[in-house]
Amino acid sequence: MKITSAKVIICAPSRNFVTLKIETDEGLTGIGDATLNGRELAVASYLTDHVIPCLIGRDPQQIEDIWQYLYKGAYWRRGPVTMSAIAGVDTALWDIKAKAANMPLYQLLGGKSRTGVMVYGHANGKDITQTVEEVLRYKEMGYKAIRAQSGVPGLEKVYGVGRGTMFYEPADADLPSEHDWSTEKYLRHTPELFEKVRAAVGPDIHLLHDAHHRLTPIEAARLGKDLEPFRLFWLEDTTPAENQESFRLIRQHTTTPLAVGEIFNTIWDCKDLIQNQLIDYIRTTVVHAGGITHLRRIADLAALYQVRTGSHGATDLSPVCMGAALNFDLWVPNFGIQEYMRHTDETDAVFPHAYSFKDGYMHPGEAPGHGVTIDEALAAKYPYKRAYLPVNRLQHDGTLTNW
């Protein structure tokens, strides 16, 4: 089999997505997600200008060799743009291989390890009362795990509090909007939020929370400790993890389980966190961490240290990534949970998919490949529209801080 052509499809049905489509001389095609929120065109150019010319004529069945060729061969390793581009190729190649085998991708990976993939949904509110209502609504919809985020009194806009209830979308402006931040206000408010949420929802629902890299390690330690009575499933991204060592301080102070990794792109970003058992869940996912080929490597390392997977699944990860991730999740032995933020109907129409949700669990479906396709004619009706993630400034003096 040979790759005869490949192209990048950029479309914005509600939000921007970058999709790579690979075609072969045997008529089989595969697609991969290569979306990098707010930096979409950089990945598109990386693929079109630098990767696609090297793919033509190669055997698409040699997934490992092509992965190594793109990673080692570029000389310039790692980074979100490179790794999202490699992921786009890798995902499309696994799609082709599974279609050639006439199997859903999870069968090729080793078959299913569970009956379904537990997912968590996002309950967001402008204040505690509204967040509690949202959590109960998610419980009603069948979710077994729910992430709770709330506005903070005295802060204008806060991470995780959406515009609509079902479709939180952080890339909200043509140029970055500005949010304000106060760690003191947030740390006072959040334990009260979880006290109310836990009391309302009962003991059996898994609760999660995302601090979006906004705390220092000692502040994160304080939050973890304060949240212990409410038994969180995880506390996510408390502090930036460029310095993996910084999680040691948090770990020394709290038994609240820790998750990190949605912005990581290789195994090197999480090696120390995993080997030193400083985290409980690793959040790398297909599109930003080099595709199925590399994600599998991270998961295997994590398994040695009883760290479980908890892949990122926000709306900026396209349905193609979600389909591939669900196949991965159904197989991976050390699965923890999968994030699931619903896409809009417009997005779902452009990306018809075999996956489904029922009673808090998802299933990738039985279609050969990863089970997601793209309606190119419909995609063409939604041209790229520049959109950025916000930036964040300290409320008291305007210092730029972590978003």
Please give the residue ranges that form the binding site for Mg ion (CB under 5 A).
210, 262
C-alpha span between 372 and 382 (Å, rounded): 19
Site pattern 331..360 for ligand CS2 (x: CB under 6 A): --------x---------------------
Comparison of 36 and 108: residue with beta carbon closer to ligand CS2: 36
Catalytic sites, residue numbers: 159, 212
Comparison of 200 and 314: residue with beta carbon closer to ligand CS2: 314
Measured on CA atoms in the order 111, 325, 20, 242, is the torsion positive or negative? negative
Q: Which stretch binds ligand CS2 (CB under 6 A): 249-257, 267-275, 296-304, 309-317?
A: 309-317
C-alpha span between 143 and 239 (Å, rounded): 27
Closest CA to 389 of 33, 19, 36, 13: 36
Number of residues lying near ligand CS2 (CB under 6 A) = 10
Query: Considering the complex, what minimum distance in angstroms separates the CB of residue 312 from ligand CS2?
Result: 6
Comparison of 33 and 210: residue with beta carbon closer to Mg ion: 210
DSSP single-letter state for residue 372: B
Q: Which does 206 bind (CB under 5 to 8 A by kind): Mg ion, ligand CS2, none?
A: none
Q: Which stretch binds ligand CS2 (CB under 6 A): 1-9, 48-56, 129-137, 310-318?
A: 310-318
Comparison of 219 and 316: residue with beta carbon closer to ligand CS2: 316
C-alpha span between 17 and 379 (Å, rounded): 10
Q: Does 309 bind ligand CS2 (CB under 6 A)?
A: no
Query: Considering the complex, what minimum distance in angstroms separates the CB of residue 394 from ligand CS2?
Result: 19
Q: Does 33 bind ligand CS2 (CB under 6 A)?
A: no
Selected binder of ligand CS2 within 170, 217, 291, 323 (CB under 6 A): 170
- DSSP string over 89-139: HHHHHHHHHHHHTTSBHHHHHT--SSSSEEEEEEEEESSHHHHHHHHHHHH
Comparison of 210 and 329: residue with beta carbon closer to Mg ion: 210
Task: Return all residues near 204 (Cβ < 8 A) that are at least 6 apart.
Answer: 144
Q: Does 90 bind ligand CS2 (CB under 6 A)?
A: no
Q: Which stretch binds ligand CS2 (CB under 6 A): 26-34, 149-157, 176-184, 311-319?
A: 311-319
DSSP single-letter state for residue 153: T
Q: Which does 42 bind (CB under 5 to 8 A by kind): Mg ion, ligand CS2, none?
A: none
Selected binder of ligand CS2 within 40, 90, 316, 329 (CB under 6 A): 316
Amino acid found at 370: H
Whether residue 20 contacts residue 6, with contact meaning beta carbons closer than 8 Å, is answered with yes
Phi-psi region of 227 (alpha: psi -120 to 50; beta: other; left: phi over 0): alpha
Selected binder of ligand CS2 within 24, 37, 254, 311 (CB under 6 A): 37
Q: Does 265 bind ligand CS2 (CB under 6 A)?
A: no
Q: Does 210 bind ligand CS2 (CB under 6 A)?
A: yes
Task: Return all residues near 10 (Cβ < 8 A) that are at least 6 apart.
Answer: 16, 17, 18, 19, 40, 41, 44, 383, 384
DSSP single-letter state for residue 206: E
Comparison of 175 and 377: residue with beta carbon closer to ligand CS2: 175
Whether residue 47 contacts residue 114, with contact meaning beta carbons closer than 8 Å, is answered with no
Interface ranges with ligand CS2 (CB under 6 A): 37, 170, 210, 212, 262, 312, 314, 316, 339, 389
